[in-house]
């Protein structure tokens, strides 16, 4: 039996995931229900269901190119929350800040301006599924915390609206970039040339057919040809065999053939 659709599914299905070709990303996202349960227990709070669902589906990363979601662990959320509290306590004497209220927030994200994003565990907006009110807390203490929605899906919609210049009636997609594990290891140019010209230029001919004729199904064959030529670069071989042709494959072709 198919799983019943959740209230946030319509929004999550519109999330457009973008990745940088030169980076390695976890696939699938390395966030499990058990790890979320452990974080809840350590932090002594219950996560909103929509936030849990986003994390298990997409993981940590960046929303709309500006809001950085921390990994949902007690350590990272604790660092985000604690760091912001320290700042507010430093300026509290000069501004009318309700520290008691703010100290109840669970902060899980920040942006380049130093603003924080979190939910208030006591402000429950739905009991089934469990949801809480989400806030945007500006670094400038002159501005009070701003409600951005009653679910994590609402926060996504708010972030997309903030990213658009000018009025709009509808949001067609939401931008998200997962957190990269590391940069790919680029092989030396001399090694690449040796692989390309091995065995009557087999690897080079395959790579050019992929680039010029769109034969993306030949990436696994390219991996075999590179390996036969002595290539042991795991990032290059794995990108050919299991990667996304438009992302990982693009990096492979750039390494082998340049930007042309």
pLDDT digits (tens, 9 = 90+) for 199-245: 999 999 999 999 999 999 999 999 999 999 999 999 999 999 999 99
pLDDT higher than 70, residue 2: no
**Number of neighbours of residue 86 by Cβ within 10 angstroms:** 9
How far is residue 51's CA from residue 74's CA, in Å, rounded to a whole number? Answer: 15
Omega into 28 within 30° of 0, i.e. cis?
yes
How far is residue 27's CA from residue 241's CA, in Å, rounded to a whole number? Answer: 14
CA angle 115, 69, 74 (to 5 degrees): 100
Q: What is the pLDDT of residue 27?
A: 80
> In this structure, what token pair is assigned to residue 139?
């670094």
pLDDT higher than 80, residue 81: yes
Among 162, 193, 188, which residue's Cα sits nearest to residue 175? Answer: 162
pLDDT digits (tens, 9 = 90+) for 8-60: 999 999 999 999 989 999 888 889 999 999 999 999 999 999 999 999 999 99
Higher pLDDT, 194 or 2: 194
Architecture of the domain defined by 9-178? 3-Layer(aba) Sandwich (3.40)
Whether the CB-CB separation of 250 and 210 falls below 8 Å is answered with: no
Q: Predicted confidence band at 94 (pLDDT cuts at 50, 70, 90)?
A: low
pLDDT higher than 60, residue 249: yes
pLDDT higher than 70, residue 110: yes
Mean pLDDT score, 188-201: 97
Q: What is the pLDDT of residue 210?
A: 97
Backbone phi, psi, residue 45, to 5°: -150, 165
What is the value of pTM for the model shown? Answer: 0.86
**Residue range(s) occupied by CATH 3.40.1580.10 in the chain:** 9-178
């Amino acid at each position: 039996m198919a799983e019943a659709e959740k209230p946030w599914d319509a929004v999550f299905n519109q999330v457009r995931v973008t990745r940088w070709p030169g980076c390695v990303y976890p696939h699938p996202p390395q966030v499990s229900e058990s790890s979320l349960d452990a974080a809840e227990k350590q932090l002594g709070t219950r996560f909103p269901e929509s936030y849990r669902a986003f994390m298990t589906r997409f993981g940590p990363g960046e929303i709309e190119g500006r809001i950085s979601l921390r990994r949902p662990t007690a350590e990272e959320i604790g660092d985000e929350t604690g760091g912001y509290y320290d700042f507010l306590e430093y300026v509290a004497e000069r501004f009318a800040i309700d520290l008691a209220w703010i100290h109840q927030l669970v902060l899980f994200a920040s942006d380049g301006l130093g603003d924080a994003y979190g939910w208030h565990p006591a402000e429950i907006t739905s009991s089934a599924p469990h949801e809480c009110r989400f806030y945007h807390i500006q670094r400038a203490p002159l501005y009070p915390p701003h409600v951005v929605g009653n679910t994590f899906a609402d926060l996504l919609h708010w972030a997309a609206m903030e990213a658009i210049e000018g009025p709009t009636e509808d949001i067609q997609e939401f931008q998200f970039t997962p957190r990269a594990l590391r940069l790919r290891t680029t092989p030396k140019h001399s090694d690449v040339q040796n692989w390309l010209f091995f065995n009557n230029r087999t690897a080079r001919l395959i790579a050019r057919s992929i680039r010029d004729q769109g034969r993306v199904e030949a990436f696994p064959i390219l991996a075999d040809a590179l390996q036969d030529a002595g290539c042991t670069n795991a990032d290059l071989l794995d990108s050919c065999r299991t990667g996304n042709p438009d992302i990982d494959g693009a990096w492979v072709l750039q390494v082998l053939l340049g930007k042309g």
